[in-house]
Structure 1
Amino acid sequence: MGKIVSGISVYLGLDDYPLSETMNYLKEAKNLGITTVFTSLHLPEAKISDDWQEFVNVVDQLNLKLIIDISRPVFSVDRLPKNLYALRLDWGFTDEEIVKLTHDLSCFIELNASTIDEERMTRLMGLGIRMEKLRVSFNFYPKPYTGMTIEDVAKCISCFHSYGITVMAYVPSHHGKRPPLYLGLPTVERHRYIPLDIAITELAMVGIDEIVFGDAFASKTELMLLGNFDSTVIRIPIELKRDLTSEELEVLKALHRSRKDQSRYMIRSSITRGKTVKPKTSTEIKQFDVTIDNERYLRYQGEVGIMLEAISANPAINVVATVKKEAENIVKYLKPGSRFRFTWEE
């Protein structure tokens, strides 16, 4: 996984978002590592014209990459800022118009990753679309139970990457939610309710290139979490078992790497092999349990396992933690050779 590009969304002309607060939000986001800003020019309830030029000027001064979402009825080349990064075509554009825009405009043309398929991609390529000017982003979904699954998002990302296309998705804020429903704006439905760090990690693990807050305004903590997200070390939230020894905690605190010769039963890290670990009363070993091999496993003592399937109790294995329910997908998508750390509440 490479560096995740991070972004925010802002909404002009809405009563919930005074222009002065939007400007402060842009500046704070920039200072916290955010590089991209998304906005829409076709929200029916928004009165945009009064704020538009001042907004564009500040975005330009902050050197943020601006993505504008637009529909065909309100599209006008004259309204586009000079330094526009990407124009997202929401609806109403013919394939011929899309192809022409990739030739006529200097910015990227961004298509809807949630609805475009390989058949349409083939048709656009046949019409002469400039692939190097193309990128895609998923929808966000204001209405609960309408968002995508992480599995379908993963399939789409793989498809677009086969064409060399950059892919963007949205996560909700748990601090500030956009009207009129105020129920979060995620691409993936389950991200509406789970901790933000897990949502970001899931998207990173299925290969997303860019992640943007669909909602506004995200909190400072949320902005820092996204802006500073390190996709090179996967963090796996766990719940510790009682009465762990200092040696077991030392093993859990280490930076681990999943072995490349992974079995169907467990993710295995040998980084801490050789650490002294005393046996405990053996218990049933369930899927998503975290284990440490004790001294009865001889030279394997100190090895860590994350169970992909349940196995029988073993006196040579200590069960020390369980992966949090909402983080189980992180384990499912952890690739052989990945670096990871366990996290837990002290």
Structure 2
Amino acid sequence: MRRLGISIYPEHSTPDKDKQYIKLAHSYGFERIFTCLLSVSKPYEIVMEEYKNIISYAKELHMEVILDVAPAVFDKFDISYDDLCFFAEMGADGVRLDLGFDGLKEAKMTYNPFGLKIELNMSNDVDYLLNILTHQGNKNQIIGCHNFYPQKFTGLPYDFFIACSKRFKEHGIRTAAFVTSRTGDIGPWSINDGLCTLEQHRELSIDVQAKHLWATDLIDDVIIGNAYASEKELRMLGALQRDMIELKVELHSDASPIEQKVVLDELHLRRGDISEYMVRSVEVRKKYANEDFAVRESIPQRKGAVFIGNDSFGKYKGELQVILRDMPLDERKNAVAHVVKEELFLLDYIKPWGTFRLIK
């Protein structure tokens, strides 16, 4: 099951604000929390008390909490790799290793008696995971999560992201990546140009970022990297369909009621023997075979435009098509809507026999 997550930074906020945010996110269906020990500067006792307090509250709402750590954190608090009781006492569900060790240490950690998950950094295209598995790490206790990148133009390029993610998915490891809020100004460091994994996401709407990560079929959990996301953003993510592609469309003013119904009320299935020019949803033409689709003045077929076969199109009347490549005008089709510009690139992720929905 795909999940949504938020991030909190107790070092740079207050318990009350964090708890309010956690409660709000939970109300919109968020199920996990990322929090960071990399930037903490307070003494052991204070850190333990603060994090224990906030994690305890999150656990009351049945939210999973993962702590981001690195060798410096182990050194600062004199934590042994063979004894993770420090993190268990805090109440965490797992620790994310921002920097790796030698493979053997990570493998040993996966057998910790507290049942803590060991989350590995996914943002390196090397055989890090395989090294740990070669040392007989417990795969049932391993999960993966990409980095986020607070500085503009330092996020991962898409092809590299795909290669890194495949290394984990091929072994059946649960994966996660970060999206960025447009309102969040809190992160682990003073620089915060947004906290996303993919550089191409930095200026996109938060829901489009999440749709894209899920559309790759390589990411299970989508986490907002910065705090605090707005309630509108939390609501948008909470309302997303997590298991299929949903594309936002703008309806044409002259689209008839029956055309609007075909566009918005149906679950669409791309025909399996695909065309490079269009996504064809053919099942709807059978359902609406007896309806009238009056011929209207048509327009050239441009990428992202949504057409429905009109009454002059014979057996293809009622078929819905989403255009992938520009084509000449075809008077047998009525233009009824178009995919919003920001989501055009998501058309590439509708696979043969892929189910998708169009939403207003």
TM-score (norm 2): 0.86
Is it true that 1:131 corresponds to 2:139 in the alignment? Answer: yes
Which of residues 193, 197, 207 is equivalent to 1:187? Answer: 197
Is it true that 1:279 corresponds to 2:295 in the alignment? Answer: yes
Helix, strand or coil: the match of 1:104?
coil
Which of residues 96, 103, 122 is equivalent to 1:88? Answer: 96
| Correspondence for 1:71 | 70
| Correspondence for 1:245 | 256
Q: 5+ residue gaps in structure 2?
A: none
* Partner amino acid, structure 2, of 1:74: V
**Which deviations, in whole Å up to 9, do the C-alpha atoms of 1:130-168 show, x marking residues without a partner?**
222211101111111221244443443333221011100
Q: Distance in 2 between matches of 1:19 and 1:282?
A: 58
1:308-327 equivalences under 5 Å are 308-327=324-343
Alpha-carbon distance change, 92 to 196 in structure 1, aligned in 2, over 3 angstroms = closer
Q: Is the 8 A contact 1:280 1:318 kept in 2?
A: yes
Is it true that 1:140 corresponds to 2:138 in the alignment? Answer: no
| Correspondence for 1:270 | 282
Alpha-carbon distance change, 216 to 46 in structure 1, aligned in 2, over 3 angstroms = farther
Q: 5+ residue gaps in structure 1?
A: none
Measured after TM superposition, the shift of residue 23 of structure 1 is: 1.6
Helix, strand or coil: the match of 1:306?
strand
* Partner amino acid, structure 2, of 1:196: I
RMSD: 2.2
Alpha-carbon distance change, 66 to 299 in structure 1, aligned in 2, over 3 angstroms = same
Which of residues 130, 151, 157 is equivalent to 2:165? Answer: 157
Give the percent of matched residue pairs that are identical in Structure 1 and Structure 2. 28
Alpha-carbon distance change, 104 to 44 in structure 1, aligned in 2, over 3 angstroms = closer
* Partner amino acid, structure 1, of 2:56: N
| Correspondence for 1:27 | 23
Measured after TM superposition, the shift of residue 64 of structure 1 is: 1.6
Measured after TM superposition, the shift of residue 228 of structure 1 is: 4.1
Q: Distance in 2 between matches of 1:250 and 1:206?
A: 29
* Partner amino acid, structure 2, of 1:307: I
Alpha-carbon distance change, 6 to 181 in structure 1, aligned in 2, over 3 angstroms = same
1:44-59 equivalences under 5 Å are 49=47, 51-59=50-58
Q: Is the 8 A contact 2:38 2:69 kept in 1?
A: yes
Helix, strand or coil: the match of 2:201?
helix
Measured after TM superposition, the shift of residue 18 of structure 1 is: 1.6
Q: Distance in 1 between matches of 2:101 and 2:247?
A: 43
Q: Distance in 2 between matches of 1:226 and 1:20?
A: 23
| Correspondence for 1:62 | 61
Q: Distance in 1 between matches of 2:296 and 2:38?
A: 62
| Correspondence for 1:223 | 234
Q: Is the 8 A contact 2:215 2:244 kept in 1?
A: no
Q: Distance in 1 between matches of 2:293 and 2:41?
A: 62
| Correspondence for 1:4 | 2
Q: Distance in 2 between matches of 1:184 and 1:58?
A: 27
| Correspondence for 1:113 | 122
TM-score (norm 1): 0.89
Alpha-carbon distance change, 177 to 220 in structure 1, aligned in 2, over 3 angstroms = same
Alpha-carbon distance change, 62 to 134 in structure 1, aligned in 2, over 3 angstroms = same
Q: Is the 8 A contact 1:235 1:343 kept in 2?
A: yes
Helix, strand or coil: the match of 2:111?
helix
**Which deviations, in whole Å up to 9, do the C-alpha atoms of 1:255-282 show, x marking residues without a partner?**
2222223222211112331242222334
| Correspondence for 2:247 | 236
Is it true that 1:36 corresponds to 2:32 in the alignment? Answer: yes
Q: Distance in 2 between matches of 1:129 and 1:223?
A: 36
